[in-house]
Each structure stands twice: as C-alpha cells, then as structure tokens.
Amino acid sequence: MQTDYKRWIEKAKRHLTTAHLNHNNHGFGDTTCYFAHQTAELMLKAYLIANHIDFPKVHALPQMLSLCMTADPDFSHVMDDMAFLNGFYIEAKYPLDITFEPSIKDIQRALTCAGQIVDFVEKKLQ
C-alpha cells in the first residue's frame, strides 16, 4: 500500500483539479467537497509515508493529522481546516436519508482548505 509518497501527492493534486473542474462547470457541490476531502486525506498520508509513519486504513482527517503532528507539531496549524473538511466525507460520499447540499460558502472554503493543505505538505516535504 505504501508506495512512493510523490505518487500520493500526484493523486491528491488530481483530486483537487477534479474538485475545481466540477465546481467551475456548475457540478454538484457535494462532489466538489468530497474531492476536497480526498485531496487532504491523500496529502496527509503522503506526509506520513514520506516520514515512514504507519497509518491505519481510515478516512478520518483528524486521526491522520494527529499522526502527522507526532512528527511535526506545525500540523496543528491546519487542525481547523481538517476538521472542516472531515465533515464532508460521509455526507458527500454516501446517500443519506436527508439531502446534503453544501452552501457555496462551504464549497469555496473546502476548495481553499484543500489547496492550502497541498501547499503546506509540499513545503514540509521539501
């Protein structure tokens, strides 16, 4: 499972591009937020792989972030963004009893958070 961390970054960037394309072409907001979450998840896992830190097969951003913080406490600076994005995983991925459609404000924040975590992790791995 733990391939080269650069491949995880590449995949994360593809997810971020997909999120932006979906949003810019009037796609579904939940899909945009789902790909923003996936971007963050893959970036955190890329950092863990690069630092030889094992992680469980989970999608919870706070759990991945906690592992990243064991190697670098600076990851605490993105805690709020990861908590925000984490709220989209279940709601955006699975059909629930209620319709989930994030607000434009939340969609834009999700895209911003995802872009910032890409930049943050890439700087950490330089």
Q: What is the CATH number of the domain that holds 111?
A: 1.20.120.330
Each residue's pLDDT tens digit, 5-36: 999 999 999 999 999 999 999 999 999 999 99
User: 11 lies in which domain range?
Assistant: 5-124
Mean pLDDT in order along the chain per 10 residues (126 residues): 84 98 94 95 97 90 96 97 87 58 95 98 96
Whether the CB-CB separation of 72 and 124 falls below 8 Å is answered with yes
Total structural domains within the chain: 1
In 3D space, the residue among 48, 86, 41 whose CA is nearest the CA of residue 70 turns out to be: 48
Whether the CB-CB separation of 47 and 124 falls below 8 Å is answered with yes
Helix runs in the chain, H state only: 5-24, 29-50, 61-71, 79-86, 89-93, 104-124
pLDDT at 59: 85
Quote the pTM value: 0.90
